[in-house]
């Protein structure tokens, strides 16, 4: 009898070690507690999305949130005199919310809104990492928000990029995300120019440039997502995953960072300044409600109860089955 050569046996053994075999069981035989908890979570997300957006998925709710923020700006502008920094803060909140509303509107028009996350998730996280770097750079000079929270947020953002989207720093990734670099230059350049022409600024040019650049980059944080979704819907291209990580893994990393970060950025900040600046606290709460609405919308489609049973065993960890 002909026996296989040792090289063939070694090749097969190498393949088996590099690609471990996973044995899936039927959905009905999976861990009942995990199965029911996941289905319950998916059902809650889906019902919440239908309540907020209706059966036809409208943007009425996020548009109303922007309207509330705009009313706060107008009230502070027309009914209160003086140079109040709350006016500037609320105006920046409104500007930052507009890309999110446009993003939700575009994603609702996509035939497969879930797949869009793989195209813009990495870019949005990179934008958050960049403005957090600017905030950390100002820490020795001034504290923007909570300095420790900025540092923890940056570490969490890097973890989401690494474990959720398999992102690695390389020349190829720099070329792939060159648009993020362009937005970085736009935000930093705008910050420098703004501080350079501001003759009433009491800070040094360096301090003001770093702080204003961080604010501008934060405003632009979701612009890459808007651009990617707009280009995809405009060209009617098939959505191609930008990374090899499973969609559920990307969603878990992306929204775990996003919601946790803005809990500290908005809810904790609103609690801290509520008695001193109630309008600024209201702006924080409205912004967080929009972030939560965006997360709820995408998570509802990713964990759609109608599609969950067929896809449950595909992403369920081995130890749970």
pLDDT tens string 290-316: 998 888 877 777 766 555 444 444 444
- Confidence grade of residue 159 (pLDDT, cut at 50, 70, 90): very high
pLDDT tens digit sequence for 127-138: 999 999 988 887
Token digits of residue 42: 């998916």
Distance CA 270, CA 272 (A): 5
Per-residue pLDDT at 48 exceeds 50: yes
For residue 22, is pLDDT > 50?
no
Nearest to residue 97, comparing CAs of 210, 221, 186, 189? 221
Q: What is the pLDDT of residue 132?
A: 92
pLDDT in tens, 182-240: 999 999 898 888 888 875 666 777 777 888 888 889 889 998 888 888 777 665 554 44
Q: Would you state the pLDDT for residue 24?
A: 40
* Residue 49 burial (CB count, 10 A): 19
Q: For the whole model, what pTM was predicted?
A: 0.75
By the 8 A CB rule, do 148 and 268 touch? no
Segments of 68-198 assigned E as strands: none
Rounded CA-CA distance 65/183 in Å is: 26
DSSP string of 232-265? HHHHTPPP--SSSS-HHHHHHHHHHHHHHHHIII
């Amino acid at each position: 009898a002909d026996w296989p050569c040792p090289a063939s046996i070694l090749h097969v053994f190498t393949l088996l070690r590099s690609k471990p075999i996973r044995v899936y069981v039927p959905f009905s035989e999976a861990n009942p507690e995990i199965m029911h908890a996941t289905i319950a979570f998916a059902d809650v997300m889906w019902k919440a999305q239908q309540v907020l957006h209706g059966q036809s998925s409208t943007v009425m709710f996020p548009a109303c949130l922007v309207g509330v923020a705009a009313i706060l700006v107008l009230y502070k502008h027309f009914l209160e005199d003086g140079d109040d920094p709350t006016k500037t803060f609320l105006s920046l909140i409104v500007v930052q919310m507009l890309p999110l509303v446009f993003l939700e509107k575009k994603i609702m028009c996509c035939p497969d809104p879930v797949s869009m996350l793989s195209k813009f998730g990495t870019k949005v996280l990179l934008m958050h990492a960049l403005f957090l770097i600017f905030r950390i750079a100002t820490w020795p000079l001034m504290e923007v928000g909570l300095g420790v929270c900025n540092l923890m947020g940056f570490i969490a953002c890097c973890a989401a990029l690494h474990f959720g989207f398999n992102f690695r720093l390389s020349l190829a990734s720099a070329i792939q995300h060159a648009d993020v670099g362009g937005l970085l230059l736009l935000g930093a350049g705008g910050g420098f120019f703004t501080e350079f022409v501001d003759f009433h600024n009491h800070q040094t040019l360096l301090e003001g440039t770093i702080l204003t650049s961080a604010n501008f980059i934060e405003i632009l944080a979701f612009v890459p997502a808007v651009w990617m979704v707009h280009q995809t819907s405009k060209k009617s291209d098939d959505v191609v995953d930008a990374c090899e990580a499973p969609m559920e893994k990307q969603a878990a990393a992306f929204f775990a960072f996003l919601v946790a970060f803005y809990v500290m950025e908005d809810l904790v900040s609103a609690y801290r300044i509520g008695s001193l600046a109630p309008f600024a606290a209201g702006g924080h709460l409205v912004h967080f409600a929009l972030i939560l609405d965006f997360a709820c919308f995408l998570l509802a489609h990713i964990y759609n109860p109608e599609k969950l049973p067929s896809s449950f065993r595909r992403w369920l960890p081995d130890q749970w089955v």
